[in-house]
Structure formats: C-alpha cells, structure tokens
Amino acid sequence: MHDTVEIHSADGKRVLAEVKKQLVSLTHGAKVTVTGMQFPLEVKGDFRGKNFQIKHGNNVIARVTRKSLMKDIKRFFSGNDHYTLTVAPHVDSAFMVALAVVFDTMFHHD
C-alpha cells in the first residue's frame, strides 16, 4: 500500500508537496512531488533505523541520521529518538525538517 501525505501552506489553501511512500524491492523509499519543481525528490535509506537521504536528481540535498542507541543511554531509557538533519547549502531547511517529520510518521511502524 502506498501511503500519501500532503504538505499544505500555512493558510491551508495550497498543496506545497505530496509525499508518497513506496516499497522498492525489499527496501522502502518515498517520492516527494513539490509544487513548481520539475523533478521529484527521491528519498531512500534505512527508515527503520532512521538513516536516509533526500536526493534531487543525483544530488544529495539532505541527510537524516539517528543517534546510535549505544552512544546515547538517555535515549535508551526514555524511548525518545534523537536525529541529526544535515541540509545542503541553498536548500530550504524548514522544508527538510517538515519532510523528516513526515517520514518519521509514515515509516514509524515499518
């Protein structure tokens, strides 16, 4: 099943992007269609381990990594995840944060 999430403008009147969950062989991915952008963003990686990258064409524009459980004993006991989001220069950081939250929600139980 392909789950779909829409990201709307603050006023709720425009769809800024559509995120579609995809199953590619035995790995997961997502396709992000952004309004006004000619090519979709591709998202691939280890969604269960919360380590993935967002690509536009052949360029990695953002990378999400989860802190290692062994290196973060507080996370182990609290059950909270801690992430690092690295965004390429001239890329909308707020939009990348929104996408990371969407992916965490979409792939939370996979």
| pLDDT, position 73 | 62
pTM (global) more than 0.85: no
- Contact (Cβ atoms closer than 8 angstroms) between residue 9 and residue 96: no
- pLDDT score at 86: 94
- Over the chain (110 residues), what is each successive 10-residue block's mean pLDDT? 77 88 65 78 76 89 78 60 87 90 71
Bridge partners of residue 42, in order along the sequence: 31, 55
- 3-class secondary-structure state, position 15: strand
